[in-house]
Amino acid sequence: MLDHFKRFAAYNAWANARLYDAATALKDTERKKDVRAYFRSLHGTLGHILTADRIWLHRLTGEGPLPARLDEEPYAQFPELRAAREAEDQRLIAYVGSLDAAALERVLEYGNTRGEAKSLAVKVILAHVFNHQTHHRGQATHILRQLGVAEPPALDLLYFALPSA
Annotated binding site for a divalent metal cation: 48, 132, 136
| Alpha-carbon distances, residue 29 vs 21, 85, 104 (angstroms) | 17, 20, 42
133 and 53 Cβ atoms separated by less than 8 Å: yes
Say how many Å lie between the first and final Cα of the chain, rounded: 25
Q: How far apart are CA 17 and CA 82, in angstroms?
A: 9
Q: Which residues are annotated as a binding site?
A: 48, 132, 136
Torsion of CA 130, 132, 134, 138, to 10 degrees: -170
Q: Alpha-carbon distance 41 to 29, whole Å?
A: 10
CA angle at 141 for the pair 94 and 131, rounded to the nearest 5° = 45
